[in-house]
Amino acid sequence: MGNTQDIKKRMNAVNNIKRITRTMQMIATSKFARAQQASIASRPYTESIFGLVAKLGDAGVGEGHPLLSNPDADAPEITLVISADRGLCGPYNGSITRTALNHLKAQTNENNILEVVGKKGAGALKFNGFTKFKLHTQFGDKPTYEDIEKLAQGYIDQFIAGEISAVRIVYMKYFSAGRQKPTVLQLLPFTTPETDTSAEQSATGFSDVYEFSPDAESLLDFLLPAAVKAVTFQCFNDGVVSEHIARMVAMKAATDNAGKMAHLLKRKFNRMRQAQITTELTEIISGAAALE
């Protein structure tokens, strides 16, 4: 009976794991729904700011703006890596870490600054020899715009002062529930979006002419910092959504695998138990025949 008892213990352990992974899948699904709503809700604001900046760019405004130019190319760059605090989310942390390592190894300036969000990313980078970095622990699963605004404003102040030459963000870009991609985004110097005015004109027969009040330069001074902050906030929102998707998929796969394992163990237990019963019956019949 020793073998059947061992198999039964394994069956109980697998069923317990299945209950845990199913619960984690349900929690991840709930968090994903909320995070997706936050990410989608912030996109119209970001796209509207991009549209306004693009119109200002079409008007010939922005040349020489401190957020659009790189005054000191020899100054260090800042690389911000957005990862997760927890694991059990499939290839999420690994994909971001590999992208960050490829980007960091391609850099030549030894004075470049590394900042990390998420304990898993920090551990992976430290394991690969990047020990000098600043770890941000204030954001968590629900980053607020106020916290992101402070971070982005600090980058803006350092960039304008010439203390840094660029800011790049390594994060998981969210396209849909079935598609996410690790991306290296250049935050500063800020790149004005390009618009296809020819397509717009061919579709309507005329092109829009805008009048700016106050003047275009004053609007750009307000919109560019707002755009930098909005893009940074969108990167954090995309990272949170992608993390929950990856954990949801990973826990569903773990639950399915646990169910298959439990089925195989149950079949093996039934076969072994049947073999034991057959052996016991054979021994009883043989003993009865010997007594006759």
This model's pTM is above 0.85: no
Class of domain 2-24+249-286: mainly alpha
Q: Which tokens go with 226? A: 């707002």
Please spell the DSSP secondary structure of 67-82, one letter per residue: TTS-S-TTSPEEEEEE
Mean pLDDT of the 139-149 span: 88
Higher-pLDDT residue of 41 and 62 is: 41
Helix %, strand %, coil % for the chain, to 5?
A: 60, 10, 25
The b/e string for 205-220 (b: 16+ C-beta within 10 A; e otherwise) is: eeeeeeeeeeebeebb
Look at residues 42, 229, 214, 237 and name the one whose alpha carbon lies nearest to residue 139. Answer: 237
DSSP E strands in the chain: the ranges are 77-82, 113-117, 134-136, 166-176, 179-188
Q: Which residues have a Cβ under 8 Å from the Cβ of 20 and sit 6 or more positions away? A: none
Residue boundaries of the structural domains of the chain? 2-24+249-286, 26-195+211-247
- The predicted structure's pLDDT at residue 202: 46
Mean pLDDT of the 14-29 span: 92
Mean pLDDT of the 96-112 span: 91
Class of domain 26-195+211-247: alpha beta
Tell me the pLDDT band of 197, cut-offs 50, 70 and 90.
Answer: very low
Higher-pLDDT residue of 139 and 80 is: 80
Instruction: List pLDDT tens digits, range 151-161.
Output: 999 999 999 88
Query: What percent of the chain is modeled with pLDDT above 70?
Result: 87
